[in-house]
Structure 1
Amino acid sequence: MFFESFLLNLFILLVLIFALIFDYVTKFFSYWYIRHVPYKMSLPFFGSDYHRVLGIRSTTSEVNHLYSLYPEDKFVGCIKSRIPDLIVKDPDAVRKILSTDFSNFHCRGLGLDKSRDVCLRNNLFYAEGEKWTLLRSRLESILNKRLDTQDGLHDCLSGINGDTNVQQLLSELLDIVFKDLLIGNNVEGSIITCLRKEFEQRTWQDKLKSYLKNIFPSVYVLLNLKTPFAKLHNKYRNVLKDTKIYNDVRKAEMIFPYEDRNSKTKLNKESTEDDAFSILSLFISEGYSPCLKVLISLMFELAKHPQIQENARKNTTDLNAAIKETLRLHPPYSVISRKCMKMYTFTKNEFLVDKGVTLTVPIEAIHKDENNFKEGIAFKPERFNTIEESSTFLPFGLGPRKCIGEELALDIIQKVANIILKNFNIEPCEATPEKLHVVDYNFACVIDNDVWLRLKPIL
């Protein structure tokens, strides 16, 4: 029915359009209310994500806030933009999501493997389904490495005595480690340093793109946005031909070709140079950065606890316990995200989750929960002398999608930490911060403030 007045017709049309848009963006706002799940109130176009959108809270602090707000509940609901998201606190439910019933939650649901950015397209972290299986098989053959750079690390430590910026020192050490692992002696190792510095630069544009990638991945792909590494792709693409990673990729391609004969799935056919660069960027973002955060946190904690430091210096078992406690208290990833692929019921809790709902496992909050670890905010490595790892200790995840580089990462962290402890006593100094300032970058956490410690050579 139309009215004679053009303005009246236009007004009614605009009201209808607004009503349809409003209905679309608020469709799931009552989702958790009708399921009797405690939840955070939502706003149109923001969902319950407005604190993160406005920069008031990071992903980590937002999830931790909701976790602690409902201490007696096993689940907490929120809305990411317009899609229901469930924060899972119950350890039994976490184990089902990540391990026991993995087939129902194998997908992250981001769709970033459709990106035109070579660093995302075949990235194991974002891959789904059979493509993930093929990529993981290839990377397992590449990750069979061991650290053997003792001489280079000793050279980097020579001359250090006094107050030291441990971020800078550890970055220099890890540059040597990753050069040895990925590049070799035939190519200038600055490629690792350049990629690392590119990753560390977090302009407001990078922060915006990071938010879009995690919250609105379809928009990220549609706008053809790219990771910070993409700008270095052409610069280093041809240089990679003389590197270890290039040779490893070639060998992996022969063992695990782009097409699996028993599967209809194909990996995007990239040149070996492109493939090597994408894996190299994966090592920096999902390997180098987490190792750096854990090592900084470990040095910081050992400086504050001299007796634990002395025990770690004398005994590998005590050092490994200190590393595990650091991973518990300062995990490199604060959350794990999954997507429900079909309707699922948590039988113990008699709770049903619909297909398409996303789930968040709050790693950091679980690690610091007094119900899971007594004195959860205290640094007590001795707890790992008796504790069995379970679904409450998740620094590398759990189940089939557990971090593929766990063994290599622990090897790097242990050997770098050991060589520092054998050469130095670590103490706080006047410039040592009271606590580590951690910010989110993509799904990982990075330390954003300078951490100065006093390194006194052991004679």
Structure 2
Amino acid sequence: MLTAAIFVIIVALVYLYSTRTFRYWEKRGIKHDKPVPFFGTDSEGYLLRKSMTQTAVDACLKYPNEKVIGFFRSSRPELIIRDPDIIKRILTTDFAYFYPRGLNPHKKVIEPLMRNLFFADGDLWRLLRQRMTPAFTSGKLRAMFPLVVERAERLQSRTLEIASQPLDARELMARYTTDFIGACGFGLDADSLNDEDSAFRKLGAAIFNITVQQAIVAALKEIFPGIFKHFKYSSKYETDFMSLVSSILKQRNYKPSGRNDFIDLLLECRMKGEIVVESIEKMKPDGTSEVVRMELTEQLLAAQVFIFFAAGFETSSSATSFTLHQLAFHPEIQEKVQKELDQVLAKYNNKLCYDAIKEMRYLESAFKEAMRMFPSLGFLIRECARQYTFPELNLTIDEGVGIIIPLQALHNDPEYFDSPNEFRPERFMPSEYNHNKTKFVYLPFGDGPRGCIGARLGLMQSLAGLAAVLSKFTVKPAPNTKRHPVVEPKSSIVQSFKDDLPLLFIERTKP
């Protein structure tokens, strides 16, 4: 009897804990779906039946006249933002209130690989960002470009060898991206284009292949962050990744090797010594910021290499393969792209180079249009760092409230893009692009101080891969190609497709 009573009390306490915030948006007059215990309004997400991106899109469609929409991730209140002026406040104007992403449920116990520039918050983020920003200048990118070209040429050769049958564009571009990251990130020749069993390719797939176990761990950390703070997302690859980076650093004697890859750039950052910044978290009694310091340890270096690998892998491969998919169904646009490629490459002895890529404006517009229709990051995420009032809404939210900026919904909203279901690269050409109208709507790389630090590198290597393919091949739909690919419901922040993207790669015959 006593046991049963204790059980009932525990269940009741857990229930009350999981529902304690469920009137948060109701009290503030914000429209939202009815939350359920433990899952909030994200039960489909926790059950791996719908991605957060699609959940946000559905919310925007359900409440089309609302500037903001309430949401509950378990018991945590979050706010979906649809208004560009409010998005501007969050990303730039009032960034000091919204600098965290809030991706680590526990604020102090953070697993080693998550201490990277993307996942880090507060002073750790500021310290890393300050030191790493100079590593992505135009000069650094230009020095890295020969490594990109070498992998792009391999992509051409490999495609020529296997193009006798339909190819999975997603897998092909993922292997190109993996080889690029291996060379530009680690100084390694991954050769996953030719090696079907490439360990490097398997590592990339493992990071984004969310297992049931990982989903359970993520749910427990979000619902009960204090109890499950020592559970790890990255346990299945943390040790191997740390060992790989450690061995590379030892081979280089912890000094830049002259390869101009990402590990070299990090070692250059480390050689500059202690990082010193003004704190964005800690204040002195007189109201001024405290000074915080940090050394770039080997563990921190490994975490930055990890995010370079993870962030570049799925984002670039999904964006480039979707671009090829769209061009396959729009042959007239593909012809325009190829005409430009032929004209530009003719000026550079038919060789890819940094300057040639910069001149491929229509190719870049086609790529940007594909990222509009299917942004690799389906949404941006922020967290309120301290109490804040939105003047447009007279709405006050508290520290810890999550912010969702639904890129997939915004990028396909007819209020900002005419005929959004139409693939039309011209909308990004200088003669037509309305920057002011879409400034805080079209955000494939984010914006503000937490915008993607590697945006130019990602754009450069993606365009190089597309140029390598389209200068030599014409892509067409295969017999089993789906006109509208299905998005993987297990996708997290980075979107991917559930199935292959089969295309025919037909070698071009130039006059």
Residue pair 1:325, 1:380 contacting (<8 A) in 2 also: yes
Residue pair 1:119, 1:227 contacting (<8 A) in 2 also: no
Structure 2 CA distance for partners of 1:20 and 1:191, relative to 1, 3 Å: closer
Residue pair 1:87, 1:360 contacting (<8 A) in 2 also: yes
Partner residue of 1:87? Answer: 80
Residue pair 1:113, 1:126 contacting (<8 A) in 2 also: no
Superposition deviation, residue 233 in structure 1: 2.9
Query: In structure 2, the residue corresponding to 1:377 is in which secondary structure?
Result: coil
Residue pair 1:328, 1:393 contacting (<8 A) in 2 also: yes
Give the AA of the match of 2:404.
T
Partner residue of 1:180? Answer: 183
Partner residue of 1:363? Answer: 407
Query: In structure 1, the residue corresponding to 2:474 is in which secondary structure?
Result: strand
Query: In structure 1, the residue corresponding to 2:64 is in which secondary structure?
Result: coil
- In the alignment, which of 421, 424, 448 is matched to residue 498 of structure 2? 448
Partner residue of 1:290? Answer: 315
Give the AA of the match of 1:449.
D
Superposition deviation, residue 276 in structure 1: 3.8
Worse-superposed segment, 251-260 or 280-289: 251-260
In 1, Cα distance between the equivalents of 2:228 and 2:508? Answer: 51
Query: In structure 2, the residue corresponding to 1:446 is in which secondary structure?
Result: coil
Worse-superposed segment, 252-261 or 135-144: 252-261
Partner residue of 1:68? Answer: 61
Q: Map Cα deviations across residues 269-291 of structure 1 (whole Å, 9 max, x no partner).
A: 633xx444322221121112101
Structure 2 CA distance for partners of 1:21 and 1:449, relative to 1, 3 Å: closer
Partner residue of 2:284? Answer: none
Query: In structure 2, the residue corresponding to 1:173 is in which secondary structure?
Result: helix
Partner residue of 1:431? Answer: 480
Q: Map Cα deviations across residues 227-249 of structure 1 (whole Å, 9 max, x no partner).
A: 54314135424431346444332
Partner residue of 1:196? Answer: 204
Query: In structure 1, the residue corresponding to 2:381 is in which secondary structure?
Result: strand
Worse-superposed segment, 444-453 or 202-211: 202-211
Q: Map Cα deviations across residues 399-456 of structure 1 (whole Å, 9 max, x no partner).
A: 1111111111111111111111110111111021222222244421122311111111
RMSD over equivalenced CA pairs, Å: 2.8
Give the AA of the match of 2:449.
P
Give the AA of the match of 1:94.
I
- In the alignment, which of 449, 453, 456 is matched to residue 407 of structure 1? 456
Residue pair 2:33, 2:71 contacting (<8 A) in 1 also: yes
Partner residue of 1:3? Answer: none
Give the AA of the match of 1:364.
Q
Superposition deviation, residue 200 in structure 1: 4.3
Partner residue of 2:287? Answer: none
Query: In structure 2, the residue corresponding to 1:425 is in which secondary structure?
Result: strand
Residue pair 1:303, 1:427 contacting (<8 A) in 2 also: yes
Superposition deviation, residue 330 in structure 1: 0.8
In 2, Cα distance between the equivalents of 1:86 and 1:107? Answer: 15
Give the AA of the match of 1:179.
G
Superposition deviation, residue 151 in structure 1: 4.0
Give the AA of the match of 2:170.
Q
Matched, 1:30 2:23: yes
Q: TM-score, normalised by structure 1?
A: 0.88
Mapping 1:310-321, distance limit 5 Å: 310-315=335-340, 316-321=360-365
Partner residue of 1:419? Answer: 468
Residue pair 2:174, 2:314 contacting (<8 A) in 1 also: no
Matched, 1:239 2:247: yes
In 2, Cα distance between the equivalents of 1:50 and 1:185? Answer: 42
- In the alignment, which of 163, 188, 207 is matched to residue 215 of structure 2? 207
- In the alignment, which of 120, 125, 145 is matched to residue 147 of structure 1? 145
In 1, Cα distance between the equivalents of 2:109 and 2:240? Answer: 17
Query: In structure 1, the residue corresponding to 2:26 is in which secondary structure?
Result: coil
- In the alignment, which of 96, 116, 131 is matched to residue 138 of structure 1? 131
In 1, Cα distance between the equivalents of 2:150 and 2:232? Answer: 44
Give the AA of the match of 1:23.
L
Give the AA of the match of 1:306.
P
Give the AA of the match of 1:293.
S
Unaligned runs of 5+ in 1: 1-6
Q: Map Cα deviations across residues 313-354 of structure 1 (whole Å, 9 max, x no partner).
A: 223221111111111111111111211122222112222222
Partner residue of 1:124? Answer: 117
Partner residue of 1:257? Answer: 274
Superposition deviation, residue 16 in structure 1: 5.9
Query: In structure 1, the residue corresponding to 2:316 is in which secondary structure?
Result: helix
Give the AA of the match of 1:166.
A
**Aligned-residue identity in percent:** 26
In 2, Cα distance between the equivalents of 1:13 and 1:91? Answer: 51
Number of equivalences: 449
In 2, Cα distance between the equivalents of 1:300 and 1:194? Answer: 24
Residue pair 2:217, 2:231 contacting (<8 A) in 1 also: no
Residue pair 1:42, 1:79 contacting (<8 A) in 2 also: yes
Worse-superposed segment, 39-48 or 291-300: 39-48
Structure 2 CA distance for partners of 1:266 and 1:192, relative to 1, 3 Å: farther
Give the AA of the match of 1:204.
V
Matched, 1:43 2:36: yes
Q: Map Cα deviations across residues 356-414 of structure 1 (whole Å, 9 max, x no partner).
A: 22111111111111112121222121111222150010111121111111111111111
